[in-house]
Amino acid sequence: MSREPRGPNEKLGTVLALAGISNAGLARRVNDLGAQRGLTLRYDKTSVARWVSKGMVPQGAAPHLIAAAIAAKLGRPVPLHEIGLADADPAPEVGLSFPRDVGQAVRSATELYRLDLAGRRGGGGIWQSLAGSFSVSAYSTPASRWLITPADSSVAREPQQAAREAETIRAAGAGGAHGGGPDSGLAQRVGHSDVTKLREAADDARRWDSKYGGGDWRSSMVPECLRVDAAPLLLGSYSDDVGRALFGATAELTRLAGWMAFDTGQQEAAQRYYIQALRLARAAADVPLGGYVLASMSLQATYRGYGDEGVDLAQAALERNRGLATARTMSFFRLVEARAQAKAGDAPACGAALKAAEGWLERARPGDADPSWLDFYSPERFAADAAECYRDLRMPRQVQRFTEQALARPTEEFVRSHGLRLVVSAVAELESGNLDAACAAGARAVEVAGRISSARTTEYVRDLLHRLEPYGNEPRVAELRERARPLLFAPA
């Protein structure tokens, strides 16, 4: 569907020419991007011709997918106004701001939580309209503001302030958006017991996510927990001490919501959750947690192909945590930097970061005050990420060496990680000329991937099959492809 013509869209035509994309090429790219988000689109070269020559504006997610397709070709963000589609349904700015004021930060976060998230994993709701709107440049301001001021001076909220906030929300008709109506306790007095419940929810969600993937129904309860439980507490009244703890627990949950969205392929949602998590970590005065959020941003940027930006984000996490974070935490931050350096193609810098990460990990001791959110990080996890670094640098022998270490102790606790490691192992075997071993590891990866709900794991399997295409006539490859079919073509 498209809106009524407005006259030729010269801006779109100019940018398409600049990018060297034909009408048929743009239609194909838009359809492919839509398919990645569970959307069935059937645009063709005639559709694009109408957008350009008659100024028709496609509805739904299409304008943002058009911008994303052109951005991928140009290698930079493309805003809607640059391609003459600024009057399309605008991508909401909700969740992208990093306010300096604590009160504004609370409103920014709770506004994000109030969104209807029910259909986001199926490409519906607001996340469908935002499809393709991820922009790594949106992380610049949050990272720089956090570096300049990693902690707010005070976060206490007096009862009168909380009551005024509750009245404002009721007047706007949003009281029910938090799940309890006008009298839902938005101005309640918050205590440490309330914070404990949020931390317990975060601990449970982390375990479910590692074992079953970000798309598991238990993991999907995190956005609901933020909307129903965390938001009313943030809008309540509390002392500075309780407030810091509250912001920290909510930041953990918000980062988890972002990580789960990232794992299920909803990059737009993940970006907004990460930005709000970083702002909440600043309010909590929890610098290591803020570094962990920045590390998550870095991993997302790296996964999306923005290696240089991933390096910047990882180094921001490192810079503020010198002398503050534990050895294990610093090791993880250096490991994340190594991942980004590898994606950027800088082998020496990657090697230096890996060596530093290994050194920090060797200094870690059982009695260290490591944060609970780092309980996943072990020598096996270090080895797994080191293997991915060398995969990106196309050094299969190193990949094999570290993958053997990563797979030395498979555990039911981190099922998704085990599946990812198997795929990386398969790629290394293939690049070393061991087709049988590659298919064997790939088969085990497909079996693991079928037990979890993780778009990221499925994408790893898809990449492996793409690498195996030159051997498509081999019975072993055909058998692997057939095994993977239910996984790759499962309904969204």
Number of domains in the chain: 2
Sorted by sequence, the CB contacts under 8 Å of residue 202 that are 6+ apart come out as 249, 252, 253, 256, 373
Does residue 212 sit within a domain? Answer: no
Whole-angstrom Cα distance, residue 440 to residue 62? 40
Of the candidate ranges 50-64, 166-180, 297-311, the one whose mean pLDDT is the lowest = 166-180
Predicted local confidence at residue 185, as pLDDT:
45
Q: Give the position of tokens 């909440």.
A: 280
Predicted pLDDT of residue 294: 98
- Neighbouring-strand partners of residue 2: 58
How many Cβ atoms from other residues are within 10 Å of residue 84's Cβ?
22
Residue 173 lies in a domain: no
Backbone angles phi, psi at 66, to 5 degrees: -60, -45
Summarize pLDDT for 82-102 with one digit per residue, the tens: 898 876 554 457 888 999 999
pLDDT of residue 122: 40
**pLDDT of 193 strictly over 50:** yes
Residue 431: inside a domain: yes
Q: What is the pLDDT of residue 451?
A: 85
- Asked if the structure places residue 391 within a domain, the reply is yes
Residue 37 lies in a domain: yes
Please report, to the nearest 10 degrees, the dihedral formed by the alpha carbons of residues 238, 244, 246, 250 taken in order: 140
Element (H, E) at 403: helix 396-406
Greater pLDDT, 89 or 63: 63
Which band of pLDDT confidence, cut at 50, 70 and 90, is reported for residue 72?
confident
Domain at 402, CATH number: 1.25.40
Residue 335 has pLDDT above 80, yes or no: yes
Mean pLDDT of the chain: 86
What pLDDT, on the 0 to 100 scale, is given for residue 180? Answer: 39
Q: Is 412 a member of any domain?
A: yes
Average pLDDT, integer, range 189-213: 88
Residue 440: name the closest of 422, 456, 461, 421 by CA: 422
Residue 58: strand pairing partners:
2
The DSSP element (H or E) to which 72 belongs, if any, is helix 62-74
Per-residue confidence (pLDDT) for residue 487, from 0 to 100: 84
Residue scoring higher pLDDT (8 or 360): 360
User: Which of these three, 83, 104, 119, is where a domain ends?
Assistant: 83
By C-alpha distance, which of 59, 93, 55, 63 is closest to 80? 63
Is the C-alpha dihedral spanning 106, 108, 113, 116 positive or negative? positive
pLDDT grade for 40, boundaries at 50, 70 and 90: confident
Residue of 485, 487, 401 lying closest to 451 (CA atoms): 487
CA-to-CA distance for 188 and 246, rounded, in angstroms?
13
Range of the domain at 457: 378-492
Q: What is the pLDDT of residue 184?
A: 47
Residue 448 lies in a domain: yes
Return the structure tokens found at 237: 């009244």
For the stretch 347-401, pLDDT in tens is: 999 999 999 999 999 999 989 999 999 999 999 999 999 999 999 999 999 999 9
Enter the pTM of the model.
0.78
User: With contact defined as beta carbons under 8 Å apart, do 275 and 294 qualify?
Assistant: no
Domain end, chosen from 19, 50, 83, is at: 83
Last residue of a domain, one of 64, 83, 102: 83
Q: What is the pLDDT of residue 5?
A: 53
Cα–Cα distance, 5 to 49 (Å, whole number): 12
Q: How far is CA 44 from the centre of its chain?
A: 31
Asked if residue 482 is part of any domain, the answer here is yes
What value does the CA radius of gyration of the chain take, rounded to a whole number of Å?
23
Nearest to 423 by CA among 137, 293, 454, 413: 454
Distance CA 309, CA 344 (A): 9
Instruction: Identify the band that residue 168 occupies on the pLDDT scale cut at 50, 70 and 90.
Output: low
pLDDT at residue 137 is higher than 80? yes
Stretch 5-27: mean pLDDT? 89
pLDDT of 181 reads 38
Counting beta carbons within 10 angstroms of the beta carbon of residue 123, is it exposed (0 to 12), middle (13 to 18) or buried (19 or more)? buried
Which pLDDT band, with edges at 50, 70 and 90, does 128 fall under?
A: low
